[in-house]
Amino acid sequence: MCQLLGMNANVPTDICFSFEGFHHRGGRTDHHRDGWGVAFFEGPGVRLFIDSRATIESPIADFVRQYPIHSLNVIAHIRRATRGPVALVNTHPFQRELWGRYWVFAHNGTLEDFAPALEGRYRPVGQTDSELAFCWMLENLRRLFPKGQPELSVLYEALWEAARELSAFGVFNFLLSNGDYLFAHCSDHLSYIVRKAPFGQAHLVDEDLTVDFSALAGPDDRVSVIATQPLTDNEIWTPFQVGELKVFHNGEPVPM
């Protein structure tokens, strides 16, 4: 199983603490050594870092760990290859344009016998079922809403239906963002936590490191962190229900 990490905040926030623990799962505390990537939204722009090497061996991962890039939405992925060889072209997250905005996607799981006939605007460059599913989702959204992005409730329903269809082919945990919202879907394993006042200390599962968020965050700050498995062992993480799609905005889940 690959590993997913997402962050949604109401003020630009760095992901250094979470990524410090997360990157150990790329070959040290877990066996995901087939590449990794992380995308940071900055307004409509995206900083995308990917590497086909394991995170624990990647100089790019060291750079991300030490460079506090601030963002409202972040998606990261550590790969264990099941479809397509270990190569940069098969490394998540994937990025495409839709409705004049960048969309970023990362998937955990394997889709069996998924071979849709795409119309051609979105085509996978690599060989993964994940990138193929992303292209299919975007093509489906463009077909449903040719005039532009619909309101959130309508977009949510379309994504939920797409996730339901794709889940029929196998495990389809994913993170998806356009820089405004972060969507997260669970097929089997996904959890989240919302950090807000009163802030406390957090201790990583994968490394003996503790941070006191009360000394770093403002009283109105909110940050949601989504991960395949909880990253800390002294906080209460909420597991997703199987088949659940959540959308995060301004650092917390949006009631849908």
CA 138 to CA 122: how far, in whole Å? 7
SS3 51: strand
∠ CA 208-212-213, nearest 5°, is: 125
The pairing of beta strand 238-239 with beta strand 222-227: unpaired
Catalytic status, residue 2: yes
How far apart CA 147 and CA 124 sit, in angstroms, is 24
Give 87-150 as a DSSP string.
SGGGPSPEEEEETTEEEEEEEES-BTT------SSS--SSS-HHHHHHHHHHHHHHHH-TTS--
Instruction: Give the list of residues 6+ apart from residue 211 with CB closer than 8 angstroms, or none.
Output: 17, 201, 202
C-alpha–C-alpha distance, residues 138 and 26, integer Å: 29
183 in Cβ contact with 173 (< 8 Å): no
Residue 214 DSSP one-character state: G
Q: Which residues are catalytic?
A: 2
